[in-house]
A and B are shown apart, each in its own frame.
Chain A
């Protein structure tokens, strides 16, 4: 860490790269189907002729912008622009529906900037010690982390836990379609070649979240989003006050995002879900998560942007990418001749690492004005555009976005089919979110479970493998707490009500 690296990051060229990266990333991330990984991968070739530090700054800015950009579609269209923004839809879209989309967009921006800064500061000050966390996580910890994420089903299925669990189990089954990762058995394809690749997560997300909205929008003449008193600009001041009130949630979610980002393979979607789950568990009685609660957006967006800095910790220190975009950036680094490892943070290679980290901080700060400005126009456009133009435009985006993932027409047909299925079942109490949770967390849970099972069987210590490791025990305890806390809280409220009644 030195002043020279800071000044190197502050050159007009690097600031221009950071600005361009944030704008490009935000726009790409806001288009359903284009993920942060794709945004980074598509723009990697541009960086080959650049200085290594500038290339890293540009890629980091694109990545952080894309993760934030996913919130726009999640809030305004109920479609996560990137998988990291899944939990943003839970409260973002209800807020937009009741006319507070402008506030939701501004809140997402503040939370993303805060989370991004916490992740980048962790990368700046704590990278070598924190990278050990990645090595402490074995298959069993991943398994329990996935189960912790799945425990969110309990709180997402208020009033109908059985249907939520059924939806989650259905999502888990969908996640097993195709070639099994460990044993290479072909499962649930029924002889179809197109199913061998399995259900793509992004296509499934687009189908399950976006198609039902389009079907509902087309069927009735109701407005897409209600507006209270004409179109407002983004409510910056109000959003800042709400974010300040939720500073503990902001900090906790950012730390969760940083820690989950460090874990290879977990990523922004898991971080957002875990942070949302914790925010919901610790909610005040008057907070209504799932019905447009600002704290839900704050938790998710702070966590998913914190994974950017967190994910770079194992990438730069250990050479193990924390998230898929990190893997692409790692490839770009190797092309540039930069060798990752602890030495990158010491003399010599250190200047590049620190210039990059300062550049990432600058890009994250630039996200505040850029994000609010783009958010303002995105919100105004979505509420002003006639429904007869909005529905076909979004429909066309879903087609082209899903096709672009694997260049497959079959994926688009599966996306539409899943969307229609999601719309039908949601009409009878089976929400899309538990299905999506199962689909996303299924592969992580299965791989962790099977590997733990194999190791436990080989060492003849299955209970010890599943329950004997300290980190596993902590995650199991948090999972139980998440599942039981709503019951305890309801009982405590009832008891308090009885006591008050007896006192009066």
Chain B
């Protein structure tokens, strides 16, 4: 029952908000195109922006007149989603200072904690730590030394 209520409210409102964001993106694109010096640069983004604005506005009108249930964010732990994204972004920001491998540990550790749904035990922690190091060093070596990617 609670799920149904969530579908009826969150999904509908979210759909309207996303459509409104797309309208804004279209308007910004049209505005930006005013600064292009050549007509060749304007035609295509303007055409796409107009399609985006029209479709998004029609979608808003359609959602208001004839609401369609969207899944919405559904069930799941928000702290896990946020931890996953934040740890990956933190790794990106730390990369120039720490280097790729230490920064990778931040992302790996954060996403591991975010996706660990079983109970932590010393044995599990030891296995995961060892596996994590092997996987990261393995991929780092492949890219850095075999494929010659200049990882920081």
* Interface set of A (CB-CB < 8 Å, partner B): 34, 38, 42, 160, 162-163, 165-166, 168-170, 172-173, 176, 180, 182-183, 185, 187-188, 190, 211, 214-221, 386-393, 395-397, 399-400, 403-404, 407, 409, 412-413, 416, 420, 424-425, 427-430, 438, 442, 445-446, 449-450, 453-454
In Å, the complex CA distance between A446 and B40 comes to: 9
Min CB–CB distance B92 → chain A (angstroms): 5
**A395 touching B150, Cβ below 8 Å:** no
Chain A residue at minimal CB-CB distance from B16: A428
Decide: B37 and A218 in contact? CB cutoff 8 A: no
Are B41 and A180 interface neighbours, CB within 8 A? yes
- B80 touches which one: A34, A219, A453 (CB < 8 A)? A219
Partner of A391 from B25, B84, B100 at Cβ < 8 Å: B84
Q: Are A165 and B41 closer than 8 Å at their CB atoms?
A: no
Q: How far is the CB of A443 from chain B (nearest CB, A)?
A: 10
Known: A188-B29, A391-B112, A392-B109. 20 other contacts (CB 8 A): A162-B62, A166-B22, A166-B59, A169-B48, A170-B22, A170-B52, A217-B115, A218-B80, A387-B117, A388-B112, A388-B116, A389-B128, A391-B114, A392-B132, A395-B88, A396-B111, A416-B85, A427-B11, A427-B73, A445-B44
B102 interfacial by beta-carbon distance below 8 Å: no
Question: Do the beta carbons of A185 and B118 come within 8 Å of each other?
Answer: no
Whether B62 contacts A220 by the Cβ 8 Å rule is: no
B residues touching A (Cβ–Cβ < 8 Å)? 11, 14-15, 17-19, 22, 25-26, 28-29, 32-33, 36-38, 40-41, 43-45, 48-49, 51-52, 55-56, 58-59, 62, 68, 70-78, 80-81, 83-85, 88-89, 91-92, 95-96, 100, 104, 107-109, 111-112, 114-118, 128, 131-132, 135-136, 139-140, 143, 147-152
- Asked if A388 contacts B128 (CB within 8 A), the reply is yes
A454 and B38 CA atoms in complex are apart in Å by 12
Complex CA–CA separation, A321 to B149 (angstroms): 25
B52 adjacent to A221 (CB under 8 Å): no
In the complex, the answer to whether A400 meets B88 with C-beta atoms within 8 Å is no
B26 CB contacts on chain A under 8 angstroms = 169, 173
Q: Cβ of A166 and Cβ of B52 under 8 Å apart? A: yes
A446 engages B44 (CB within 8 Å)? yes
B18 near A424 with CB under 8 A, answer yes
Q: Once the chains bind, are A395 and B108 in contact (CB under 8 Å)?
A: yes
Please give the distance in Å from B127's CB to the nearest CB on chain A.
9
Task: Say yes or no: A388-B45 contact (C-beta < 8 A), given A162-B58, A453-B40.
Answer: no
A214 contact set on B, CB distance < 8 A: 84, 111
Q: In the complex, A424 Cα to B70 Cα: how many Å?
A: 12
- Taking the nearest CB of chain A, how far is it from the CB of B45, in angstroms? 5
21 contacts across the A-B interface (CB closer than 8 A): A162-B62, A165-B55, A173-B26, A176-B44, A187-B32, A187-B33, A215-B84, A218-B114, A389-B135, A390-B115, A391-B84, A396-B135, A400-B139, A400-B149, A416-B85, A427-B11, A427-B71, A428-B15, A428-B70, A450-B40, A453-B40
CA distance A163 to B11 in the complex (A): 14
Give every chain A residue within 8 A of B81 (Cβ-Cβ). Answer: 215, 218-219
Beta-carbon contact of A388 and B88 below 8 Å? no
Chain B residues lying within 8 Å of A427, measured Cβ to Cβ, are 11, 14, 70-74
Give Cα A449 to B114, complex, Å. 46
Inside 8 A of B44's CB, which chain A residues have their CB?
172, 176, 442, 445-446, 449-450
In the complex, the chain B residue whose C-beta lies closest to that of A159 is B68
